Amino acid sequence: MSADSLQWGGRFHSAPDPALLAFGSSFDDDLLLARFDLQTSQAHVRALRGGGTIPPEIFEALVAALDRIAEEIEDGTFTAWARNEAFEDIHGAIDARVREIEDVAGRWLHAGRSRNDQIATTLALYAASRARDGLARTTSIARALASRARLALEKESVLAGTTHGQPAQPILLAFWLQAAAEPFVRSARRFAALAREAMEAMPLGSGALAGSCIPLDRTAAARYLGFARPSRNALDAVGTRDVLFACADAWATSCVPAARVAAEIVTWASPLFGYVRVGDASASGSSLMPQKRNPDIFELVRAGTQRALSDARAAWAASAAVPLSYHRDLQECKQSAIAAIERADSILTAFAHAFADIEFDVERMERYATAGYTLATDHADALVRGGLDARRAHRLVGERVAIAEAQERAFDASDLQALGEHLGVPALFAPLDARASVLAKVTDGSTSPEAVARALDALECELSECEASV
């Protein structure tokens, strides 16, 4: 890194230590911010022009140079050039390239601007763009899960729903898939709100912390970038990264439902369970055990989520130690937040691919849907509907479970008969198979086929509303 590539240095007597400059460089992480930083510069040039600070010919030359750099960023030549020069950050790199293209005009680019308001604006643009990407990603995962739910609903495929990992009550596979989809709808809603929030207040024109003595048309700049308005406190604007961190949170927390589904798939993919077959394209083998077929991608989704969460947490935590205004700590926070977002994106992409590649063994699910006395609650409910109090119903059915278990058999007509006696009827009317159990559910949001069909309609409506709100 040469001292020439820095945007400062006049008051120093000797060059900075190259090793320390390299330590302080955020250039590699900044590369994915390049196109947003360029937009920020285009906006600043408009603010300078609008404020009457630069004449038309300087304005035109700067716009043209920035346009050219945009092409160079697209085709990769800018990155190659900047890597060669080694810069402290993306701001210095773009500034240097502008001066290389337009020596005279280039010297005006940074007038009235600090890297502090520049990076804050660039990060807001990045956060808005990544929030929109997050909205698209979570919407598409929710839709994929919902359309698989619709297929499973046609067949009314059932399985033993669990709590504590133990057989609990029969549920529709469609209901399970809908449950997997719902958190992604909530994520989509959060991303939509964030995409709007990120474009609320534009930091550009805040200078280093106090604003500028150079007239800047901040409204024109905000309009150019698509912000609702310029920020209203320069000190806050340069020192705050909360929308970026909220975006990192939204991405990392969107991986949590993927990780939880992945955890279930890992269990279900075991031949000991056999509910799921992971496709060849997403399974891995063992270097030693020839028979193995491992659900590695789902395991990586599970563990990767923890990394994304801790990167997002690290961003908030490091910023909590920083007083108001810009401090270089915010560069580290930026890197943690970007790491969380980019990692979460790759996790959700892999999850979506791998999930599309699994097959459910619905016969096997159905075979075990009533194992472990999953109909017991339906029997107790039937007694309560017949007029027995809930405590007594629970106890009586519990006793029948103990009897059937001792006889090593499932619930059958003999249990219905014995329970019927307590209501003074020949036999209790209650489901004796899993499909009858789900059909007997009467509440909204339940696992009954009608409730699931209604819920899927509502879920898809909400996704479209989220998309339309941005």
**Nearest distance from residue 337's CB to ligand ARG, in Å?**
11
Structure tokens, 240: 């705050």
DSSP state of 3: G
Closest among 242, 197, 259, 245 to 341, alpha carbons compared: 245
Distance in angstroms (rounded) separating the CA atoms of residues 60 and 322: 40
d(CA 325, CA 208): 9
Question: Which amino acid appears at position 284 of this protein?
Answer: S
Q: How far is the CB of 73 from ligand ARG (least distance, A)?
A: 18
Whole-angstrom Cα distance, residue 388 to residue 33? 67
8 A C-beta contact, residue 192 and residue 466? yes
Taking the complex as a whole, the smallest distance from the CB of residue 458 to ligand ARG amounts, in Å, to 43
Least distance in angstroms from the C-beta of 118 to ligand ARG: 7
Rounded CA separation 89/69 (Å): 16
Closer to ligand ARG by Cβ: residue 43 or 380 = 43
Residue number, 314 or 419, with CB nearest to ligand ARG: 314
Q: Which is nearer to ligand ARG, 26 or 370 (CB)?
A: 26
- Which residue's CB is nearer to ligand ARG, number 310 or number 325? 325
The label of the residue with tokens 């955890």 reads: 263
Q: Residue 27 or 355: which CB sits closer to ligand ARG?
A: 27
Q: Which is nearer to ligand ARG, 30 or 249 (CB)?
A: 30
Q: Give least dist CB 243 to ligand ARG, A.
A: 15
Contact positions vs ligand ARG (CB under 6 A): 26, 89, 115-116, 119, 326, 328, 330-331, 334
Are the C-beta atoms of residues 413 and 427 closer than 8 Å to each other? yes
Give the 3-state secondary structure percentages of the chain, helix then strand then coil, rounded to 5. 65, 5, 30
Is the CB of 335 or the CB of 370 nearer to ligand ARG?
A: 335
Give the residues across from 253 on adjacent strands. none
CB of 125 to ligand ARG, least distance (A): 14
d(CA 202, CA 223): 10
260 vs 439: CA distance, rounded Å: 27
CB of 29 to ligand ARG, least distance (A): 8
